[in-house]
């Protein structure tokens, strides 16, 4: 049955102060990463690093996510607007973050931290990889709650009769209707032709839950260098590439080629190839042995 999306994106409102679910979702993701990371540090999965060192790593990684995610979005998805208005780079409240940019930011932060700690860069990447999916999963839930980054229409496809009606994706006059009027229109069945794939939930399941379970299980015992990072890159690249087939492309870009290729797929293809290469490289790489504290 179709679902009408009418979730308030504001979790708590205290006068002019509004706390959005999107921000709370990222805090939850950060909390899970912190909890799991500390357990792994205390199990000696990153020899020579204590809680303080891990705290520094998380701080730099968060900076990498924010700076890299914003800069990546501008470069990959909205360079035209940036060239017309360079100050838009700082207007983070208007939205616009890129996972691939955030990933590059985290890698840069991890490389800098690893050098200070005199650790091999990929030992750090292998350690961090299982901590990331929680943030991805909760972040996509935040996208769904906020009613953004929706999927393609399901009407006229094999998925007809299934989907979510996102108010912000509706044409006029429906887009301007208040919640009660829109609910009445939905209950009458008029809005059934505007159902879309809840691609945010598909991504939350695949990039969040499935990747979290797979990477935590795979890294439960020491693996050769590059292996955990390779599995992360392969899984994320593959899942993102597949979901892009039912996700609405960015309006300012549309499809890049063939009537179906999106920027998300272009950026995910190198991850798939890197994942396969790192998994192959791990076959002859050393294994970092834990030193429990």
Rounded to whole angstroms, the Cα distance separating 79 from 271 reads 22
Q: Is 95 left (phi over 0), alpha (psi -120 to 50) or beta?
A: left
Q: Under a CB-based contact definition with an 8 Å cutoff, are residues 274 and 236 in contact?
A: no
pTM of the model: 0.90
Q: What is the pLDDT along the chain (293 residues), one digit of tens a residue?
A: 899 999 998 888 888 888 888 889 989 999 999 999 999 999 999 998 999 999 999 999 989 988 888 888 888 887 887 788 787 777 665 667 788 888 899 999 999 999 999 999 999 999 999 999 999 999 999 999 999 889 999 998 989 889 999 999 999 999 999 999 999 999 999 999 999 999 999 999 999 999 999 999 999 999 999 999 999 999 999 999 999 999 999 877 889 889 889 999 999 999 999 999 999 999 999 999 998 87
Rounded to whole angstroms, the Cα distance separating 208 from 135 reads 7
Report the chain's C-alpha Rg in angstroms.
21
Residue 119 CB-density burial (10 A; 0-12 exposed, 13-18 middle, 19+ buried): buried
Rounded to whole angstroms, the Cα distance separating 269 from 241 reads 7
Q: Under a CB-based contact definition with an 8 Å cutoff, are residues 200 and 130 in contact?
A: no
Rounded to whole angstroms, the Cα distance separating 71 from 63 reads 12
Residue 118, SS3 per DSSP = coil
């Amino acid at each position: 049955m179709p679902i009408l999306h009418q979730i308030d994106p504001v979790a708590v409102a205290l006068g002019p102060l509004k706390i959005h679910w999107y921000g709370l979702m990222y805090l939850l993701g950060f909390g899970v990463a912190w909890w799991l990371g500390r357990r792994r540090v205390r199990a000696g999965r990153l020899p020579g690093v204590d809680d303080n060192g891990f705290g520094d790593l998380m701080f730099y990684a968060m900076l990498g996510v924010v700076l890299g995610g914003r800069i990546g979005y501008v470069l990959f998805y909205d360079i035209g607007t940036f060239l017309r208005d360079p100050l838009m780079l700082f207007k983070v409240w208007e939205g616009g973050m890129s996972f691939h940019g955030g990933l590059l930011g985290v890698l840069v932060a991890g490389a800098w931290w690893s050098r200070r700690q005199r650790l091999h860069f990929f030992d750090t990447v292998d350690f961090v990889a299982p901590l990331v999916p929680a943030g991805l999963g909760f972040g996509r839930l935040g996208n769904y709650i906020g009613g953004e980054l929706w999927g393609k229409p399901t009407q006229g496809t094999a998925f007809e009769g299934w989907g979510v009606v996102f108010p912000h994706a509706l044409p006029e006059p429906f887009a301007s209707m208040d919640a009660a009027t829109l609910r009445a229109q939905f209950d009458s069945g008029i809005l059934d032709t505007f159902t879309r794939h809840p691609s945010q939930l598909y991504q939350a399941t695949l990039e969040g839950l499935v990747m979290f379970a797979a990477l935590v299980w795979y890294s439960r015992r020491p693996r050769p260098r590059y292996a955990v990072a390779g599995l992360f890159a392969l899984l994320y690249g593959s899942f993102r590439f597949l979901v892009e087939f039912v996700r609405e492309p960015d309006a300012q870009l549309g499809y890049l080629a063939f009537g179906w290729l999106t920027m998300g797929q272009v950026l995910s293809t190198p991850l798939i190839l890197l994942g396969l290469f790192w998994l192959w490289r791990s076959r002859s790489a050393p294994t970092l042995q834990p030193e429990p504290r």
